[in-house]
Chains A and B, each alone.
Chain A
Amino acid sequence: MSHVPPTPDAAAARIDVVNLTARYHGRPAVADVDLAIEPRQVTALIGPSGCGKSTLLRCMNGLHLTVPGASVTGQVLLDDADIYAKDSNPVEIRHRVGMVFQRPTPFPTMSVRDNVLAGLQLGRRLGRGAPHDEIAERALTKAGLWHEVKDRLKAPGASLSGGQQQRLCIARALAVEPEVLLMDEPCAHLDPISTLTIEDLIREIKETYTVVIVTHNMQQAARVADTTAFLTMSAVGDPGRLVEVGPTERIFSSPRRQTTEDYISGKIG
């Protein structure tokens, strides 16, 4: 199997979440969500802690179902094909829909270079003759990390700074050339400079990818997202629900729902 780089336009899929309810041990964490994620746009998920943003995000690549006791009903359509259909291959789905987590998670036994290539090598998606070094360089360049690490590709991935580690994880996710990139509070543990670097990066990669980002930082949503979806739950213990979704500007300037306005003006959450 040889590595065929897809044309840039081939990437970027759309996701349609249809009537989705996600449960842990039978208890819904997020319920009845209908949400369209447009390709080559950044969609932000905002809402108070515990409203199910991470759960919803993890439903979009099927990672939710790897948690013991977790289940879903409803559909997540990736380019019109339900990822929860019986004949869909979860490994293939996770390959097409990449993810970056809140905490940087470089693989501790691997060097910077091997971290970037991990998805391709472990997924056996690279032929023997594939240009490993070029692929690693391309991914690191896209993640804005190449110049900082080009002299320490053999150093352990965990030896980088927190912000560099997070960009390493982004490079690692981009190296497998996914169609969608899910980001769960990717800047939560980073300093303001690293945060801005990653925001620039998000604006850049949305040219070729579909990006969904969970954030607690309203300014961040306003800065990077084209579309913003607000979720909340009516009481602690109740499942989160989608309240409102629309162009980011409109959500922040003239929200249609009172709860949205209360949340973005800092009255709740």
Chain B
Amino acid sequence: MAASTSASAAHRGLPRRMAVNAVMTVVLGLVTVGVVALLLWILAYVARQGLKYLGPMFLTQTPPGDPSQAGGGFANGIVGSVVIVGIATALSVPIGIAAAVHMVEYRGRLARACGFLTDVLIGLPSIVTGAFVYALWVAHFGFSGLAGAVALGLIMLPLIIRATAEVLRLVPVELREASLALGVSRARTIMAIVLPTARSGITTGVMLAVARAMGETAPLLLTALGNDLFLEANPARRMSTLSLQIFSNAITGFATAQARAWAGTLTLIVIVLVLSVGARLVGRRGIVRSAR
């Protein structure tokens, strides 16, 4: 009796639920189309503005001494980005992977603290990281590419730890046990079985972290400072990066400098896009890949 009552009630609610469903489908569809259109518009706009000036000269020359002049390029920023992000990657990848292994494989005493710190660091505004490095290093030793690399490394570190820990958790326990059961030590099992199995997932995480570091500007203003005058490849001195040059050229009032900034923006977007797509391709090929 009760069952039939509730069944008919559910039946009466059916047209209304179908109407709600239809409306929601349309609303969500429109929102999705809107978001995609917005992103494409930004990309198209940057591409149109950037392509006006982007060319071989832009990639191989430094900016003119007087920013109001036309010509020149961001070669020093491109070199600086590669050097600084390269050092940041070399610093953060081994430490990040080691921390993730400690957390997931050894569940060490520090594991919980490490997981908590990772979450906190990921949420930290990057300028705070920059200010931290400024206070501890730059205030004593001056601006340098290396200080910038340390700041970027600190930003990449939690991203790498989290991505690596995520894929390590996806490696089946059975694989570890199969290796242990052969009389292989714990450490060798991690090095020879677990990490290679998770390799493509870890690579994806690292590439996404590199893409993120490429675009950072605020922490570099406080550490690497920038150098618009000449090509500098020595990370012990102040250095420019692509993001810093975009910033310094964009805030001038000169159309010539802003044209360079647009071309730099397009270059940066292409680099980040290539890294992100590359990360996805590596991830798709892999045995154990990250959830993203």
Interface residues in chain A, defined as those with a beta carbon under 8 Å from any beta carbon in chain B: 61, 63, 66, 68, 91-92, 94-96, 98-99, 101, 103, 105, 107-109, 118-119, 122-123, 125, 169, 172-173, 176, 178
Contact = CB atoms under 8 A, between A and B. Distances in A.
Contacts of B192: 118, 122
A107 B175 contact: yes
Interface in B152-203: 172, 174-175, 177-186, 188-189, 192-193, 196-197, 199
Interface of B: 107, 172, 174-175, 177-186, 188-189, 192-193, 196-197, 199, 287-288
A122 B177 contact: no
B175 A105 contact: yes
Nearest to A68: B107
Contacts of A91: 183-185
Contact of B174 (A66, A68, A103, A123): A103
A95 B180 contact: no
Nearest to A118: B182
B179 A118 contact: yes
A198 B68 CA distance: 81
Contacts of B287: 108-109
A61 B177 CA distance: 11
A221 B105 CA distance: 36
B181 A98 contact: yes
Given A103-B174, A105-B174, A123-B188, A94 B181 contact: yes
Is the contact region of chain B dominated by helix, strand, or loop, or is it mixed?
helix
A172 B182 contact: yes
A107 B178 CA distance: 9
A91 B188 CA distance: 11
A107 B180 CA distance: 12
Contacts of B107: 68
B109 to A, nearest CB: 13
Contacts of B183: 91-92, 94-96, 98, 119, 123, 125, 176, 178
A99 B179 contact: no
Nearest to B181: A99
Contacts of B197: 107-109
A92 B288 CA distance: 30
Given A109-B197, A122-B192, A66 B177 contact: yes
Contacts of A122: 179, 182, 184, 188-189, 192-193
13 contacts: A98-B181, A98-B183, A99-B177, A101-B178, A105-B177, A107-B175, A108-B197, A109-B196, A109-B287, A118-B179, A122-B189, A122-B192, A123-B185
A134 B180 CA distance: 24
Contacts of B193: 107, 109, 118, 122
Most buried by B among A63, A118, A122, A123: A122
B177 A63 contact: yes
B182 A119 contact: yes
Nearest to B198: A109
Q: What 9 A-B pairs have minimum CB-CB distances, sorted nearest first?
A: A95-B183, A119-B182, A99-B181, A105-B178, A122-B184, A109-B196, A108-B287, A94-B183, A105-B174
Contacts of B180: 63, 66, 94
A101 B174 contact: yes
Contacts of A66: 177, 180, 186
A173 B188 contact: no
Most buried by A among B178, B183, B196, B288: B183
B182 A107 contact: no
A124 B192 CA distance: 12
Contact of A107 (B177, B179, B188, B199): B179
Given A108-B197, A109-B287, A173 B181 contact: yes
